[in-house]
Amino acid sequence: MSKTYLLTGGAGFIGRHLSSELLAHGHHVRVLDNLLEQVHGPSPLGLPPEIELIRGDIRDPEAVSAALHGVDGVFHLAAEVGVGQSMYEIARYVGVNDLGTAVLMEQLIARPVERLVIASSMSVYGEGRYVTPDGRPAAGRRSNGRNDLGWDPLLDDVTPLKPVPTDETKEPDLASIYALTKYTQERSCLIVAAAYGFQAVALRLFNVFGPGQALSNPYTGVLANFGSRLLNGQRPLVFEDGQQRRDFVHVRDVATAFRLAMETPGVAGEVFNIGSGHSYTVEAVARMLAKAMRRDRLAPDIMGKARSGDIRHCFADITKARQRLGYRPAHRLEDTLDELAEWISRSTAADRGDHAKRELEQHGLVA
C-alpha cells in the first residue's frame, strides 16, 4: 500500500538515498530541510522531481506542522553532525538536535503518525565492547591521549583489552556533545511515542559511506574527508596511530534499513544497530581509498594526536537487526570503493580538513 512519508533533513546524504528507496517502493515522499550550506554546499544537490520539498527549519513549529499534514510516517534525519565540532559549537548542536527534536515531538502530539523512525548514532556507545585476554567482559574507558602501552584502553591501567562487536545491550557512555544530543534525540522520540500512542524505532547508525556525501564538509564521514583530501592532492589526516577500528556501512544498505524499520511489525520501541558487521582500521581504509582513486603515493598522515570526544574502537553486532528486521547488508566496503572513487573523481570539493584541524587545536581539543 502506498504511504506518504516525511523525511526531516531529507535533502542530505542519507535522505536522498532513502527518498529513492521509498519512491522505488511506490511511496510519496515529502522532505523538510533548511539546506544548510555546510552540509549541502552553495548549490544543493538535486532531489528527484517526484519529491515534495519544503524548505524550513526543524526548530520552526509552523514549518514542522505544515510538513506533517497528511503524512503516515516520519523519518527523523535532521541533525547537526560532527563529534569534533560539537565540542565547541555546543549551543548549535544542542539547539538543532535536541530543541529541533522537541519541536517535532510537540507537533506529533497534535498530528500523530503511524510510526516514527529516528536516526540515532553509534556514538552513544562511547567505546565499544571489550574483553580481557581470558574472554571476560570489561569496560573500555580511556583518558584522551596515549597511555604507557599505546592508545588502546587498559584494564586497571595495566592489561590490554580486546575490542569485540558491540550489541544494543551495551550501556551508553557519552563521550562528546554530539553523542549526548543523539542519545537525547533517540530517547525523546521513544518516550513521547510511548506516551502518546504512536510507534517509534531508533536506528544506531555506524559509519555511513557512499556516493553523494558532502565532500567539502570536514565534520561528516571519515571516508568523505579522506576523499576530499585525496581529490585535492593532499594526504588523508588520521588521528592517533590509525589502528582504531570502525564499521563502515553503505548508504544504500542504510536506506533499506530505514524502510524495513518503518514497515516491519512488532518492533515499536526498539533500538537497532545498523552497520556492515565488519570492522576496519582507519589507516587501512585511507590506504584502500587512495588505491581506488589511483593516488597510492598519498599515504595517510598519521598525526599521533587524539581528538577530545573520540573513542578508540567501536564496530557493530548486527544480529538483532538481521533477526528482527530482516536486514541484510549487501554492499561491503572493499566491493564498493571503486564506485565511490569514481564518484569522487567526478566531483569538486574544497578541502577544509586543515581548517577543521586548526579549529580543534585552537580550542584545545587535540592532544
Domains and CATH numbers, the chain: 4-362 (3.40.50.720)
pLDDT at position 356 is 55
Of the candidate ranges 127-131, 213-217, 296-300, 339-343, the one whose mean pLDDT is the lowest = 213-217
Give the residue from 341, 346, 342, 353 showing the smallest Cα distance to 220. 353
* C-alpha pair distances (Å), 166 with each of 46, 163, 315, 327, 334: 36, 9, 6, 17, 22
pLDDT of residue 361: 58
Kindly report which listed range (121-125, 214-218, 301-305) carries the lowest average pLDDT score: 214-218
**How many Cβ atoms are within 10 Å of 213's Cβ, its own excluded?**
25
The answer to whether the beta carbons of residues 185 and 98 sit under 8 Å apart is: yes
Mean pLDDT is lowest, of 119-128, 173-182, 267-276, 339-348, for 339-348
The residues that are catalytic are: 178
Q: What are phi and psi of 93, to 5 degrees?
A: -70, -45
* Residue 98 per-residue DSSP state: I
pLDDT greater than 50 at residue 318: yes
Question: What would the pLDDT profile of 14-45 be if each residue is shown by its tens digit?
Answer: 999 999 999 999 999 999 999 876 555 544 45
Q: How far apart are CA 184 and CA 200, in angstroms?
A: 14
Q: Which helix (H) or strand (E) holds 138?
A: strand 137-138
The proportion of the chain whose per-residue pLDDT surpasses 90, expressed as a percent, equals 75
Burial of residue 83 (number of CB atoms within 10 Å: 0-12, 13-18, 19+):
buried
Tell me the pLDDT tens digit for each residue of 200-226.
999 999 999 999 887 866 666 789 889
- The 3-class secondary structure across 324-345, one letter per residue, is HHCCCCCCCHHHHHHHHHHHHH
pLDDT score recorded for residue 32: 97
Dump pLDDT digits (tens) for 60-109. Answer: 999 999 999 999 999 999 999 888 889 999 999 999 999 999 999 999 99
